[in-house]
Amino acid sequence: MKKTILFFGFMATAFAALAQVKPATTELPQKTTFQTGSPWIPQIDVRSDIAIVYGTNDRPNMTFEQRVQSWRDHGYQTAFMTGIAWGSYDDFFLGKWDGKNHLDLAQVEQNGKPIMHGRNIPYVVPTDVFIEYMKKAVMKRVIDVGIKEIFLEEPEFWARGGYSVPFKEEWQKFYGFPWKPQDESAENTYLSSKLKYQLYYNAIKQVSDYAKDYAKSKGINIKIYIATHSLVNYSSWRIVSPEASLASLPGIDGYIAQVWTGTSREATYFNGDRKERVFENAFLEYGSMVSMTAPTKRKLFFLTDPIEDARRDWADYKRNYQATFSAKLLYPVVANYEVMPWPERIYTGKYKMANSDSSVNIPKYYSTQMQIMVNSLNSIPESTNKVSGVNGIGVLMSNSLMFQRFPTHNGFEDPQFSIFYGQTLPLVKRGVPVQTVHMENLGYAATLKDIKVLVMSYSNMKPNSALVHEQLAAWVKKGGVLIYCGKDDDPYQSVMEWWNTKGNSFTAPSQHLFKLLNIDPSSGKQKFKVGLGAVYVIRENPKDFVMQANNDGKYLNTVKEAYETDSKAGKLVFKNSLYLERGPYDIIAVLNENEDTKPYTVKGPVIDLFDPKLPVLAEKVVNPGEQSYLYDVKRVVNKAKPQILASASRVYEEKVAGKQYSFVAKSPINTLNSMRVLLPAQAKNITITDSRGQTITNFQSSWDASSNTLYLGYDNSPDGIHVSLSW
């Protein structure tokens, strides 16, 4: 993530005397994690399963190995993360590693300016020497410390880059002819982007292969994950990355989906209006990561961030955190989470209060709410339940969405990535949980298994092979319904690619698809029967569906006809909400900018997990533009068993003996705990003690008869607070 890592030198001396590295923690569930550049300090004791230690840099009075050990000493499994396109690699860039300065590997803009992530931290053209450094100086050291999970972060090549000498040399090697400046033609841009894509694909393949082979030589099996923004965001932000292709690499075990307020608040067009739509954007971003990984059965962690890179106020952070958090929970097939990045920044950084110039540490009410949400992720289950509404409509996407975003050629523009949003937002905004479908995964049977209607356009992407069209045609002939939207008039239609080379002479890739489908859109017809399925062709650019006001009616009517008449899949209902049950949890999002302005009501008793006081409500009303996260007490399994239903701490050492229930709760220092405890009857005695056995009398408690739950509130401690309840 585009983040400044905060390190706390004043804490480093406390760890100078740490012993030699001990064996890694015994393997345990790996459901939740966070990434940090800091050693363990009590302010950031998040209590997730895994602490991902960032970077191999040694600090004053503390080595990388000691930093890792500081987390293990406090009960954490440890993993490792580092940038694969940038990083604090001063020894490499400034010549200490091999005697050569490598700042010349920076990605370079047309004006000759290097693209930098920070001082002496360029975005890299990943040549052989950089790959060798990543292998020998980084991967080897990490594996030697006993780490078994490695996360390679953000393989990114900026679309505006591609003018450096090393990049020109890589062009010559890859294409066999001299470099061509991408600003001169659409074809040059396309070729440049394909090379950027391939360079990071090769870099990750080589680094992951080396790491796994080296680990095996030591009798260790490791896993390697890619921490990456979504294809939606990279395309929007004009960045090229290998994305979906990595999901089929044997050396890659999964991904972290880096979606957070900073990516999701990118403005979009809808109904002619350009503005932030954080929930809707996040929903589509997380969806694109699911479609990229689910068919390949790779493990996927979802990330959210309680703050973001831009300096906003705490109220802004809270509102958008709720939006992105709700969006990720609406994907019930994913139940692994990076609960936050950089807890040192969240807990010890200062940001403004709303309508104020004063900056303060995270307000207690927000840290409590955040910790309730984060700790719920340790228990929220995967689910086979579906989000309310029609789940059988998909929109096709491809890695090539990243290839034609910059610069502009022949006057063709796609403001705010609107061609993609033109196909998706009209549906999402009407309560249809549209799914994105990765073209690169069409070879997997699971990819189109539940899709009834598939929307696609070649206005903003292109097919990577003829096989794509063979797969789509076969799906249609078996009963699928395809809606093709586009005028095929963008300058990338004629780039040097498979559809116009090696015996093919199509002037647009869709012509090859239409030939396989045996249809002729030039006949004036818009609907064609093909085998057991059907094809619609809408000769409009999808960006016009959202950039112009009241201009998505034809598109929506076509989708509705395709779903109801051709797929015979039932009624396509438009509404203003998305709702999902996951175990005892309810996730609700009510959409605004919709003709339907009714609120969504959930009957209780439910616990409001977005409220730090954890109130038990007889009903919860969610208004348009809002999201809600609830714990439905009616769906508790085994109501006779004492248990924690919600807490701003992680609970350990639970014991039930007769009419007594006890546990230990841990969470960062300087935060307030808030918890709901289900009991068979109202508690008669409440005893709370700290780690030294001292009784704590300063706590809050109340009983709610409608839910048989006890509320407790007190100061948190990473050393553990012992609670004993009897009734």
Task: Look at residue 357 in the predicted model and tell me its pLDDT.
Answer: 87
Q: Which residue has the tokens 């470099």?
A: 179
C-alpha 385/C-alpha 307 separation (Å) is 30
Q: Mean pLDDT, to the nearest integer, of 207-226?
A: 97
Backbone angles phi, psi at 453, to 5 degrees: -130, 130
Is the pLDDT confidence value at 379 over 80?
yes
C-alpha 555/C-alpha 565 separation (Å) is 15
- CATH code of 393-562, in short, is 3.40.50
Burial class for 571, CB neighbours closer than 10 Å (0-12, 13-18, 19+): exposed
Task: Look at residue 27 in the predicted model and tell me its pLDDT.
Answer: 60
- 233 contacts: CB under 8 Å, gap ≥ 6: 259, 263, 266, 285
**What is the percentage of the chain residues whose pLDDT exceeds 90?**
93
Q: Mean pLDDT, to the nearest integer, of 651-675?
A: 98
C-alpha 93/C-alpha 537 separation (Å) is 52
Q: Which residue has the tokens 């076969």?
A: 474
Tens-digit pLDDT profile for residues 624-645:
999 999 999 999 999 999 999 9
Tens-digit pLDDT profile for residues 518-545:
999 999 899 999 999 999 999 999 999 9
- 271 contacts: CB under 8 Å, gap ≥ 6: 546, 549, 550, 552, 593
- 215 contacts: CB under 8 Å, gap ≥ 6: 143, 148, 221, 222
Contact between 379 and 437 (Cβ < 8 Å): no
- Which run of H or of E encompasses 461? none
C-alpha 428/C-alpha 545 separation (Å) is 13
pTM to 2 decimals?
Answer: 0.96
C-alpha 204/C-alpha 461 separation (Å) is 24
C-alpha 277/C-alpha 425 separation (Å) is 10
Task: Look at residue 246 in the predicted model and tell me its pLDDT.
Answer: 86
Residue 515, both tokens: 């030939």
Model confidence band, residue 20 (pLDDT cutoffs 50, 70, 90): very low
Pick the CATH number of 643-726 from 2.60.40, 3.30.1360, 1.10.10, 2.30.170: 2.60.40
Task: Look at residue 14 in the predicted model and tell me its pLDDT.
Answer: 36
Contact between 258 and 282 (Cβ < 8 Å): no
Contact between 651 and 663 (Cβ < 8 Å): yes
Is the pLDDT confidence value at 10 over 80?
no
Contact between 71 and 44 (Cβ < 8 Å): no
Model confidence band, residue 549 (pLDDT cutoffs 50, 70, 90): very high
Contact between 490 and 484 (Cβ < 8 Å): no
Q: Which residue has the tokens 């993993």?
A: 79
- CATH code of 9-376, in short, is 3.20.20.80
Q: What are the sequence ranges of the domains in the chain?
A: 9-376, 393-562, 577-635, 643-726
Backbone angles phi, psi at 135, to 5 degrees: -70, -60
Q: Mean pLDDT, to the nearest integer, of 174-193?
A: 98
Q: DSSP states of 118-141 as a string?
A: ETTEEPB---HHHHHHIIIIIIHH
Is the pLDDT confidence value at 574 over 50?
yes
Candidates 587, 591, 589, 582; CA nearest to 629 is 587
| SS3 per-residue string spanning 680-695 | CCCCCEEEEECCCCCE
Q: Mean pLDDT, to the nearest integer, of 387-399?
A: 98
Strand 627-632 versus strand 254-257 pairing type? unpaired
Tens-digit pLDDT profile for residues 235-289:
999 999 998 888 778 899 999 999 999 999 999 999 999 999 999 999 999 999 9
What counts of helices (H) and strands (E) characterise the chain?
18, 35
Task: Look at residue 248 in the predicted model and tell me its pLDDT.
Answer: 78
C-alpha 159/C-alpha 414 separation (Å) is 15
Q: Mean pLDDT, to the nearest integer, of 455-476?
A: 98
Task: Look at residue 7 in the predicted model and tell me its pLDDT.
Answer: 35
Q: Is the peptide bond before 363 cis (omega within 30 degrees of 0)?
A: no
